[in-house]
A = this chain, B = another copy of it.
Amino acid sequence: VDTQPALDDPTYRAAVLDLLGIVAYGELTAFERLAGDCAMAPALSDKASLAALACTELRHYGQLRDYLVELGADPEASMQPYIGRFDAWHESTAPSDWLEGLMKAYVGDSIAADFYREIAQYLDERTGAMLTEVLGQTGYDDFARQRLLDAIAADPRVSGRLALWGRRLMGEALSQAQAVAAESRALEGLFVGTPERPGLGLNVLAEIFTTIQTRHTERMAGLGLHA
């Protein structure tokens, strides 16, 4: 039995286009946000490092956009439904300083990346490989983690504030993920499925959330913070 989902199945294809649209728009807003956070950089070298990472996100956006075009989809149409959702996420988690911005990128973006990377395992080979590639390490993790560790070492009092902020980011990420899932029939179809093609099942979704929580706890622990 060929269990590989196929892009010529309209239900599966719609879910893939939705997923690619979400991740593509996420990369484009990640570019904008990281570039905006450059204004808070304490040194020109930090500014330039962050700017370079923003450009990596933009390159990933370009790969996803090109892949959408290759699949015969309109990238703008695939992204459009998620604009308000990402705006809501960025408004509810606007960092108030450089360190909160680093945490948002290191902790917040990683939660989203983990979520889509886990889903990628259940997709057709090419789509899965594309998502795994663009959601892979950007070099940001090392940069942000080191800067955060330096800041906590320099003033241990910041760790309480950052731990609270990390929990807030996780809470907001989960509520946005639920909203995205509820809004997209296509994504719902990927998990719930149809009589002809059963979905991944809600137990898979539950496993994914457990994995995300575990990775989040590990990242926070890597900073000496409780999740």
Contacts and interface: CB of A to CB of B under 8 A. Distances in A.
Identical copies in the complex? 2
B47 A28 contact: yes
A163 interface: no
Interface residues on A, range: 20 to 34
A44 B188 CA distance: 26
Contacts of A55: 54-55, 58-59
B36 A65 contact: no
A93 to B, nearest CB: 17
Nearest to A54: B35
19 contacts: A28-B44, A31-B35, A31-B51, A32-B35, A32-B39, A32-B47, A35-B35, A35-B38, A35-B51, A36-B36, A43-B76, A44-B79, A48-B61, A51-B58, A51-B61, A52-B58, A52-B62, A54-B55, A55-B59
Interface of A: 25, 28, 31-32, 35-36, 38-39, 43-45, 47-48, 51-52, 54-55, 58-59, 61-62, 65, 75-76, 79-80
